[in-house]
A and B are shown apart, each in its own frame.
Chain A
């Protein structure tokens, strides 16, 4: 990598300014890889110092992180399992971000999606498994979609800040979930852990053949790819980005901003709702308080680290999945507390946000004019 960077710089200094070199032509793309990469390396460096202060060897740290996250096939499966829900919940923040909206309520959409999917599965017990699964996926996406659409509608028609409303909707979703799970939807035999009835072993989504990773990963990758195409390769996506850039200009050129907001919010919520459906259909087999595991909140982090790019969400989710997968090994081998993983996530977040200031300011990548 270093040599690639070094040579063309000299080349471009020699070459006349009129002919931009490789680096200048692809400067934008290179920045998108180089800056977050450097931020990550910087964050790991600072975390190494932090760990050294606790008397642990930072090289051990990096080794165990690598081993726990990507070192073996088992580690990879561990990482991908953890990444799967994050891809979907990250889309819940990344999609509205195209419109300039900051939605942080993916957790609520996940819970509503899980609840809707469970309700459908329990009322479709007579149907063949494939029908039940399709019904669950549809219900999860509609449930989650409507939930975030609510935040979008509040913003569009009532001027309520969507960040606050989507966050508060998380607590409402959790309260509804607890109310139903401890009330009408409770399985009377779930004494000490109030839960709904099980959706039935036959209706569970299996793993991707040859792995332990559930199908949620594939759904996530498909959803992220579809979102990317929607945003960057359709007129709808173009309209959304125009509205995100300048909402007044969008209105002046006649874009239906309200419709854009509601549609994008619905799609965003549908992604998180699908994550909830997968948690029920592939992991828990029922709905209970376990579902509020914070995937929705980690998804926000993933979306910001991916700079709200739906496609970049995939590698970032795999990165954060890896960090969380290696957390266990850090606890067991180095005796670090669990909080150390959160410290690392925090450091990465700060570095990536701070590195935002570098875009367009790296001399050798700038187009000459």
Chain B
């Protein structure tokens, strides 16, 4: 059996490579075993949610002594538990970023209990005191960036009709729709946002249909909250509408139509996490922030954005960055006419009430159920 001999030889080669690898690692700036694992639910070049995390991972790869291992399209089942274990057992990972929402409970919590020496950092989950101490969750107030997109969209739209392609009517999505609409109304008090929910995070066909249907109804600026904005951006640009991006910078997909976009800034946050971990200080179990904490950013303005829009947007962004501005500031009515935030009440970014958002503000055309 020739086959057997070959695999044995390869086993030896593999073993040698492994030893060599760890020997090299020992000489570098960080401890020999700083291997960091990234797990994505979709493909890492989706121009969206997963790519944003992959960009963060790419920033870590540049740090000497850090090895990054990645796995994409891992479903939110026990497959992700096995992926985490495999990264721990076979790659020696000591910090893991399971980046999809559905990985948190029960999968990541289970693995954190099983491997108390490994650090687990989850994007979007709500870590509480009863969860393991070696686990943590982080997220960004990306509605701040959506607010800026809204201002730019409000100035740019000729019809005053904006469109929003959204996945599901859950708090994180509703917050973005509402912030975008409130921003747009700063620029044009009569602006409306028509929202279409596709029902799931990655539904390219429905996203394309929603985009077309919005444009057919007179919408001329669109944005979205789905995992991969590529479909919406390309279709809208093709139809001659303007777009605001989401998750990452999609301007290469539509250079003329791209106004700005709400982006994650994981490439700034992840090296910060690694520094906290290696300095012995430790990563906080619960980490949240916006512009100020550099967790989010906006894409550079496209050429179609007027000077007036740029100035207004930059002003608000500066205030948000210094922390002197509140987006959800009363009085705010929902789109059925009910007061949800009374006059005089400021709901700051960290207000837990905002995490439970279940309404659409006045100016949004659509329903949560």
Contact = CB atoms under 8 A, between A and B. Distances in A.
Given A74-B89, A294-B75, A329-B86, A191 B7 contact: no
Contacts of A60: 10
B10 A332 contact: no
B166 to A, nearest CB: 13
Contacts of B102: 193, 288-290
B153 to A, nearest CB: 25
A165 interface: no
B11 interface: yes
A325 B369 CA distance: 39
A285 B79 contact: no
Contact of B76 (A290, A324, A329): A290
Interface string B354-369: 0110000000000001
Interface string A261-300: 0000000000000000001000111001111011000000
Contacts of B72: 331, 337-338
A328 B88 CA distance: 13
B199 A191 contact: no
A178, A284, A285: which has the most chain B beta carbons within 10 Å? A284
Contacts of A178: 199
Interface stretch (B167-175, B293-301, B312-320): B167-175
B6 A324 contact: no
Given A78-B82, A290-B76, A332 B199 contact: no
B130 to A, nearest CB: 13
Interface residues of B, number: 39
* B contacts with A: majority SS: helix
B200 interface: yes
Interface string B5-37: 011001100100000000000000000000000
B70 A194 contact: no
B8 to A, nearest CB: 10
Given A78-B86, A81-B82, A279 B77 contact: yes
B79 A192 contact: no
Contact of A192 (B6, B82, B172, B369): B172
B101 A284 contact: no
Contact of A193 (B86, B101, B356): B101
A346 B69 CA distance: 26
Interface in B124-145: 124, 126
A63 interface: yes
B321 interface: no
Contacts of B336: none
A354 interface: no
A366 B83 CA distance: 47
B334 interface: no
Contact of A331 (B7, B10, B70): B70
A324 to B, nearest CB: 7
A30 B75 CA distance: 37
B77 A283 contact: yes
Contacts of B11: 63
A328 B172 CA distance: 30
Contacts of A294: 75
B200 to A, nearest CB: 7
B209 interface: no
Contacts of B90: 74, 329
A202 to B, nearest CB: 14
A279 B77 CA distance: 8
Contacts of A289: 102, 200
B118 to A, nearest CB: 15
Contacts of A194: 168, 170
A66 interface: yes
Nearest to B77: A293
Nearest to B172: A192
A284 to B, nearest CB: 7
Contacts of B346: none
B366 to A, nearest CB: 16
A197 interface: no
A81 B78 contact: yes
Contacts of A283: 77-78, 106
B238 interface: no
A59 interface: yes
A241 interface: no
Nearest to B101: A193
A291 B79 CA distance: 12
A285 B106 contact: yes
15 contacts: A62-B6, A63-B14, A67-B14, A74-B90, A81-B78, A192-B170, A283-B78, A285-B106, A294-B75, A328-B71, A328-B82, A328-B86, A337-B43, A338-B71, A339-B43
Closest 6 CB pairs of A and B: A338-B73, A290-B76, A63-B10, A293-B75, A78-B82, A332-B69
